[in-house]
Amino acid sequence: MTEPLISVHFRLTKLDAMQAYTLKREIEGAYFIKREKNDDDQKAGVFVGMVPLKETLFDELNDYVIRQQIKYDDCDIFVEAKNANGDIAVPRVVNKLLKYIDCKLTYALTN
């Protein structure tokens, strides 16, 4: 049986271009993806920022969210499990971040 590969990121879902580039510059390992416009999406040109969830980045991440005035509804903790079959152990770092930033959790299970 193959062990699932689990990755955890703090995801900022509605960044403008300046916020996206600032995120990448200020937080180690952060990156962003430009979301393409589709029929259901009124906000073309928004960027999705991704920050690998590491406890050493919590202070920087919290400062960024406050400085950029990010709404908690515009971010989440994104847990992705690949090759998952059965129970998934979510890393403890997720619980620790929730003490800093109270945001929703999003799970993706892929094969």
- Structure confidence at residue 110 as a pLDDT band (50, 70, 90): confident
Q: CA dist 71 to 68, 92, 111, Å?
A: 9, 24, 32
Grouping H, G, I as helix, E, B as strand and the rest as coil, residue 43 is coil
Query: Domain limits at 18?
Result: 5-37+44-110
Q: What is the pLDDT of residues 21-62, one digit of tens each?
A: 999 999 999 999 998 765 555 566 799 999 999 999 999 999
- Structure confidence at residue 19 as a pLDDT band (50, 70, 90): very high
Task: With a cut of 70, say whether residue 98 has pLDDT above it.
Answer: yes
**Cα–Cα distance, 9 to 52 (Å, whole number):** 4
Task: With a cut of 80, say whether residue 83 has pLDDT above it.
Answer: no
- Structure confidence at residue 2 as a pLDDT band (50, 70, 90): low
Domain count, the chain: 1
For residue 89, the 8-state DSSP code is -
Total Cβ atoms within 10 A of residue 98 = 13
For residue 21, the model assigns a pLDDT of 96
Cβ atoms of 105 and 79 closer than 8 Å: yes
Mean pLDDT over each residue of the chain, to the nearest integer: 88
For residue 32, the model assigns a pLDDT of 97
